[in-house]
């Protein structure tokens, strides 16, 4: 197989090295180094190979000099001699099983040793009872079966921020062409669904052939899959496919609306159109022909913009994030859609990490980068590892704030809610900080009742402000916790606690459906990037996107407030 050196491939290679080390019982530090490099590469929004070509491998945090050297060898020669030696002692077949959620290196090794050759084969051999006979426990095999189902479901999804950043670069590129009037993403990407299936882009132009030609010369391209007169598909070096569709400007609005979906939204819209004697298509709106009536081109209302499209149907414009047939159509008819929050409303970031815990940059570096993005403040909320010298850290924050006036660093901590509902650090430590986030990082599988009590007890602590990445889901990896959200939201509203909308690429947590639920109880939100490196700070917009999908207005988000007002809220606890 030809190496494309995509981030996914490189991360997988490093994970395989880590797995091989684990099977061989290497030391924990070696193993962690590979895992953390792989994590970092998976969440990078630029291609590693491009950074390597530009001599900027050191921009990816977590990739130390040691691993950087191996990557250099890998990009130069296509393999790494040292890795080959390690892999030689391990059955090749084991690595594919690592892709199944819940299967760790040791199990994967045992399966390969037992003679299982593929994931499909694994499924067969569990079902036929063959593996039980080989000494595997039924309970763990049941878990593996569930893992295989999950694997099959998720394998072709892309995280919204990853797809979003690629689309942004592509659209920026397209807009440089003089004949491009507009360019937009389509489908689930435009609606900002947390994971998207593929990247589709539409362009409004009178020069389709010119645009198609230009599109196939996008710098990140691996190959052209197909190119027609007004459509094309390219494969990027990341392995992701992008479809392009070019339409004339006079009916661009109809096209955009049609291909943005969702399916349910469009079905409902079509029904309403029909009641008005209209039929809808990607080409426009026309009167339904009655018997004996001649259809003429003139009756087609083409819609240059989506605003015209919705207006023609008696509705106000519906933002793409809301188009899920969750009441937005009814609201649009009554002209009662909420004024959704926008990225520009956000004044600062309310979750970030520095080298004081597991981040890759110092407090000053993070703050300066946030200031460069125009933020008025940033909460540095390092994990409250008991080994941290909290007073020293607070002093560093104070000194930084004193030394400059471009940005205000808010002193904060992200504190673990232990399995027994106690917090990781005592109240006197919490009291010294301006903002306290609590979150779950262990014992995710408690039953609903115990989990709910655990969270509520934490929220009742007067020092606590925010419940961070509430469900604990890791997109494409791990389901969230089971909890009684209604109870939690009630308590949050009663005690004036805020619920986080976490913008980290594989979290996007609270999910949009729960955001709407929380709103019903009057809960307010905070949006945080959970940045562990400077490059993540710019991903705030994806938190905003999920908030918009949850119908959130700027008034419902505390970090739309200037620091002076936010300070009041935080002091009120
Ligand atoms: Zn966390």
358-417, pLDDT tens digit by residue?
999 999 999 999 999 999 999 999 999 989 999 999 999 999 999 999 999 999 999 999
The encoded tokens of residue 544 equal: 């905003």
**According to the model, what pLDDT value does residue 50 have?**
85
Average of per-residue pLDDT across 481-487: 95
382 Cα to the center of ligand 1, angstroms: 9
**According to the model, what pLDDT value does residue 294 have?**
58
Q: Structural domains in the chain?
A: 7-154 (1.10.150.110), 158-247 (3.30.460.10), 258-333 (3.30.210.10), 343-571 (3.20.20.140)
Name 185's bridge partners.
201
Q: Are 141 and 116 spatial neighbours (Cβ–Cβ below 8 Å)? A: no
Q: Give the whole-angstrom CA distance, residue 345 versus residue 273.
A: 35
Coil vs helix vs strand at 397:
helix
**According to the model, what pLDDT value does residue 53 have?**
87
**According to the model, what pLDDT value does residue 148 have?**
86
- pLDDT over 90 for what percent of the chain? 69
Q: Give the whole-angstrom CA distance, residue 508 versus residue 463.
A: 25
351 Cα to the center of ligand 1, angstroms: 9
415 Cα to the center of ligand 1, angstroms: 8
148 Cα to the center of ligand 1, angstroms: 27
Say whether pLDDT at 153 is over 70.
no
Q: Give the whole-angstrom CA distance, residue 450 versus residue 483.
A: 8
Higher-scoring residue by pLDDT: 311, 283:
311
521 Cα to the center of ligand 1, angstroms: 25
**According to the model, what pLDDT value does residue 522 have?**
96
Average pLDDT, the chain: 91
Q: What is the pLDDT of residues 293-340, one digit of tens each?
A: 555 555 678 889 999 999 999 999 999 999 999 999 999 999 999 999
Secondary structure in 3-state letters for 12-74: HHHHHHHHHHHHHCCCHHHHHHHHHHHHHHHCCCCCHHHHHHCCCHHHCCCCCHHHHHHHHHH
Q: Give the whole-angstrom CA distance, residue 92 versus residue 113.
A: 10
228 Cα to the center of ligand 1, angstroms: 47
* 290-319: burial string, b at 16+ Cβ within 10 Å, e else: eeeeeeeeeebbbbbbbebbbebbebeebb
Give me the count of residues in the chain. Answer: 573
Say whether pLDDT at 2 is over 70.
no
504 Cα to the center of ligand 1, angstroms: 10
238 Cα to the center of ligand 1, angstroms: 28
Residue whose tokens read 């200031």: 371
Q: Residue 307 belongs to what H/E stretch?
A: helix 306-312
88 Cα to the center of ligand 1, angstroms: 37
Write out the DSSP string of 209-237: HHHHHHHTT-TTEEEEEEE-SSEEEEEET
471 Cα to the center of ligand 1, angstroms: 11
Q: Give the whole-angstrom CA distance, residue 411 versus residue 69.
A: 37
Q: What is the pLDDT of residues 55-79, one digit of tens each?
A: 888 778 778 888 999 999 999 988 8
Average of per-residue pLDDT across 205-210: 96
468 Cα to the center of ligand 1, angstroms: 7
531 Cα to the center of ligand 1, angstroms: 10
414 Cα to the center of ligand 1, angstroms: 7
264 Cα to the center of ligand 1, angstroms: 35
Q: Are 430 and 415 spatial neighbours (Cβ–Cβ below 8 Å)? A: yes
293 Cα to the center of ligand 1, angstroms: 64
Q: What is the pTM of this model?
A: 0.79
Average of per-residue pLDDT across 187-205: 94
Give 291's pLDDT tier (boundaries 50, 70, 90).
low
Name 242's bridge partners.
199, 234
Residue among 503, 525, 533, 528 nearest 569 (CA): 525
469 Cα to the center of ligand 1, angstroms: 7
What is the number of other CB atoms lying within 10 angstroms of the CB of residue 127?
11
115 Cα to the center of ligand 1, angstroms: 39
**Burial of 201 from C-beta contacts in 10 A (0-12 / 13-18 / 19+):** buried
266 Cα to the center of ligand 1, angstroms: 38
22 Cα to the center of ligand 1, angstroms: 25
Say whether pLDDT at 99 is over 50.
yes
Angle, CA of 442, 447 and 452, to the nearest 5°: 80
Q: Which of 102-106, 294-298, 511-515 has the highest mean pLDDT?
A: 511-515
Q: Give the whole-angstrom CA distance, residue 37 versus residue 45.
A: 14
441 Cα to the center of ligand 1, angstroms: 7
**According to the model, what pLDDT value does residue 1 have?**
38
Say whether pLDDT at 479 is over 50.
yes
463 Cα to the center of ligand 1, angstroms: 18
**According to the model, what pLDDT value does residue 28 have?**
83
Average of per-residue pLDDT across 338-343: 97
């Amino acid at each position: 197989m030809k190496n494309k050196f995509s981030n996914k491939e490189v991360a997988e290679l490093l994970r395989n090295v880590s797995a091989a080390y684990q099977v061989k019982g290497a030391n924990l530090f070696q193993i962690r180094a590979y895992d953390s490099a792989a994590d970092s590469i998976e969440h990078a929004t630029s291609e590693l190979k491009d950074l390597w070509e530009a001599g900027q491998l050191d921009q990816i945090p977590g990739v130390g000099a040691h691993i950087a050297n191996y990557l250099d060898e890998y990009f130069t020669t296509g393999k790494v001699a040292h890795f080959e030696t390690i892999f030689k002692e391990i059955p090749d077949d084991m690595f594919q099983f690592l892709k199944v959620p819940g299967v760790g290196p040791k199990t994967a090794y045992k399966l390969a040793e037992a003679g299982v050759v593929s994931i499909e084969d694994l499924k067969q051999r569990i079902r036929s009872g063959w593996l039980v006979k080989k000494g595997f426990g039924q309970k763990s095999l049941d878990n593996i079966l569930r893992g295989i189902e999950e694997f099959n479901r998720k394998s072709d999804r892309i995280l919204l921020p990853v797809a979003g950043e690629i689309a942004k670069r592509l659209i920026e590129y397209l807009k440089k062409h003089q004949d491009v009037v507009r360019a937009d993403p389509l489908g689930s990407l435009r609606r900002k669904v947390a994971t998207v299936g593929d990247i589709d882009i539409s362009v409004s132009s009178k020069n389709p052939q010119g645009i198609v030609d230009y599109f196939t010369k996008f710098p990140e391209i691996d190959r052209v899959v197909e190119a027609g007169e007004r459509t094309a598909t390219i494969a990027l070096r990341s392995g992701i496919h992008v479809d392009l569709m070019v339409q004339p400007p006079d009916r661009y609005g109809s096209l955009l609306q049609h291909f943005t979906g969702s399916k349910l939204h469009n079905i409902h819209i079509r029904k309403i159109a029909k009641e008005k004697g209209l039929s809808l298509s990607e080409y426009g709106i026309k009167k339904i022909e009655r018997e004996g009536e001649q259809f003429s081109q003139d009756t087609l209302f083409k819609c240059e913009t989506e605003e015209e499209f919705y207006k023609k149907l008696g509705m106000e414009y519906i933002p793409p994030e809301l188009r899920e047939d969750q009441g937005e159509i009814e609201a649009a008819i009554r002209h009662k859609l909420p004024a959704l929050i926008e990225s520009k409303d956000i004044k600062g970031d309310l979750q970030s990490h520095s080298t004081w815990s597991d981040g890759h940059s110092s407090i000053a570096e993070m703050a300066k980068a946030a200031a460069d993005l125009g933020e008025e403040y940033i909460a540095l909320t390092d994990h409250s590892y008991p080994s941290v010298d909290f007073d020293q850290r607070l002093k560093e924050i104070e000194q930084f704030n004193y030394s400059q006036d471009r940005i205000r660093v808010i002193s904060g901590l992200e504190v673990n809610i232990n399995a027994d509902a106690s917090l990781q650090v005592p109240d006197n430590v919490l009291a010294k900080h301006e903002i306290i986030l609590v979150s779950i990082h262990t014992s995710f599988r408690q039953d609903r009742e115990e989990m709910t009590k655990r969270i509520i007890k934490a929220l009742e602590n007067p020092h606590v402000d925010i419940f961070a990445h509430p469900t604990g889901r890791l997109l494409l990896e791990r389901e969230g916790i089971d909890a009684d959200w209604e109870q939690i939201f009630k308590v949050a509203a009663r005690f004036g606690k805020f619920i986080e909308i976490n913008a980290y690429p594989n979290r996007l947590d609270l999910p949009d459906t729960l955001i709407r639920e929380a709103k019903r109880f009057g809960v307010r939100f905070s949006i945080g990037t959970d940045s562990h490196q400077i490059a993540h700070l710019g991903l705030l917009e994806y938190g905003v996107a999920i908030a918009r999908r949850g119908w959130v207005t700027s008034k419902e988000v505390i970090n739309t407030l200037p620091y002076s007002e936010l300070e009041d809220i935080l002091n009120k606890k």
